[in-house]
Amino acid sequence: MCAPPTRRSSPTDSPPCSPPRSPRPPTAETFRLPPLTRHPGDPAKERIVTEDLHWLSAVEAVRRLRDGDLKLADYVEALLDRTERLARLNTYITHEPDLVRRSLTDRPGPLYGLPFALKDIVDTADLPTTAATPALRAWRPRRDAPIARALRDAGGTLMGKQALGELSFGMTGNNPAYGIVRNPYGDDHIPGGSSGGTAAGVGAGLVPAAIGADTGGSCRIPAALCGCVGFRPTHGRYDGRGVIPISATRDTLGPLARSVADVRLIDRICAPGTADSEPRTVELAGLRLGVPRGFFYDDLDPDVAAATENALSVLAARGAVLVEQDLPDLERLNELVDLPVVLYEVGRELSAYLYQHAAPLTLRELVDQVAIPRVKETLESVLDKDWVSGAEYREALIVHRPALRAAYARYFAEHDVSALVVPTTPLPARPHRPIGEDRTVELNGRPVDTFLTYIRNTNASSSAGLPCLSIPSGTSRDGLPIGLEIVGPDSSDGRLLAIGEAIEAVLPPLPRPRL
């Protein structure tokens, strides 16, 4: 029997199973786009946009599609051509260009045909939903997940289903069944996980926006490593039905895009009825931001430390008030919630999904075919023994998770801060290594656990169900992206996105990958 997971090894990121929402959907008439800087009479700037359609922001693409300045067929062909040229990145599991072309129709509405992609755990009736595991290679659900249907109903064009760590486990993009996902900023580097294909596709200019999923950092970590923006909404903000799960308590879907404005565009589709009551802009001058240096800022890669300190200096120079206060006892509180919840829920959630969606196999049959040894070890251990008792699970949910959430709430209230800012990950992307050898990476001259190290700064806020946003803050000396994470109070999603947009505006833009 394989060794069971311990308190120092934990499953990775996943998808969502959140309660459905049914508020008023956005319409073409009420949907507002942010201002666009135009360059009338400047053919050079217009020509650059025409030649590099794959780098259009989602917001600008929607505006041009709406105004008739861009034909959807031309835009889609540019993305299809780029995807074919950069096939070595292996960002898609399912990508059918002819199906995409056949789907193109006149699409009024908030997205006006905007191309998007989905992490391959989100159900679609016309494409398989594989979760990057062999047993589900041909699995076709009966209907679209609500979030996929919402984006299509808003006029979006689905480009395909994106690669991930098997069953939303893993950090490296290594998968013997579906191939290696490569980082657009360095083919020989990992993309992060588990939404690695999603982040790599957005970062490489293959699609302007996509839906990933986040259990412990899976929207934010690969976004930081691949040079894009990743958003984890407050737990329950998005409808999580029709998504292959790990933990109903922790899972959530989340958008990845190349700017915060693009994320806000997608968020308005995924969380309809919220935008009108949420702030659109935030001023940096006088904005109080928490900087909890203990734990989050410990043992950073020197390049991450330098980029983060530079970002903090820029914010201070623009008038933001940096409040250097720690979040006491955070690591202990999170440990009481993290593994007890995930290890109790994962087998039950996966089994329930297979049954509810009439998948033609059992959980045991699925696990028997898992391709990645560490993922198989974890799932087999959960099947063979209850590593977390019902009593321990209930205590985690009823006692320890509320205590963790209360610790965050006290921090925001007592220090009067609107958000806290930390490095998204302690280190940039590291080189790919073969499966088995990729369980550790080097940090400051010593080997450390790959998964636990990359999720260190994203995990506790996930356990607490808080809204979090990763934006690019700079690059390493060898040109790899570095991310800055912004964490807000519970249900402060709109204000958090406005804060993120204000911070993004004063940080230097990230260079595009050399592809």
User: Taking the alpha carbons of 222, 228, 233, 238 in that order, is the dihedral positive or negative?
Assistant: negative
Cβ pair 422, 485 in contact under 8 A: yes
Please report whether residue 420 resides in a domain: yes
Report the domain count for the chain: 1
Q: Which pTM does this prediction carry?
A: 0.91
**Three-state secondary structure call for residue 149:** helix
Structure tokens at 169: 């486990």
Please report whether residue 34 resides in a domain: no
Active site (catalytic) residues: 119, 194, 218
pLDDT at position 296, please? 98
Q: Which helix (H) or strand (E) holds 300?
A: none
pLDDT at position 43, please? 42
* Domain housing 89: 43-506
Please report whether residue 30 resides in a domain: no
For 323, phi then psi, to 5°, come to -105, 105
Please report whether residue 75 resides in a domain: yes
User: Taking the alpha carbons of 190, 117, 206, 180 in that order, is the dihedral positive or negative?
Assistant: positive
- Tens of pLDDT, residue by residue over 368-406, are 999 999 999 999 999 988 889 999 999 999 999 999 999
Q: Which helix (H) or strand (E) holds 448?
A: strand 446-449
Structure tokens at 306: 């330098």
Please report whether residue 8 resides in a domain: no
Pick the closest to residue 12 from 124, 117, 123, 132 (CA basis): 132
Structure tokens at 497: 């996105």
- Tens of pLDDT, residue by residue over 83-138, are 999 999 999 999 999 999 999 987 778 999 999 999 999 999 999 999 999 999 99
Please report whether residue 21 resides in a domain: no
Please report whether residue 110 resides in a domain: yes
Please report whether residue 24 resides in a domain: no
Q: What mean pLDDT is predicted for residues 275-294?
A: 90
- Tens of pLDDT, residue by residue over 16-36, are 333 444 444 444 433 455 544
Pick the closest to residue 419 from 501, 513, 478, 348 (CA basis): 501
Q: Is the pLDDT of residue 201 over 60?
A: yes
**The CATH number of the domain where 346 resides is what?**
3.90.1300.10
Separation between Cα atoms, residue 197 and residue 162, nearest integer Å: 5
Q: Which helix (H) or strand (E) holds 334?
A: helix 330-335
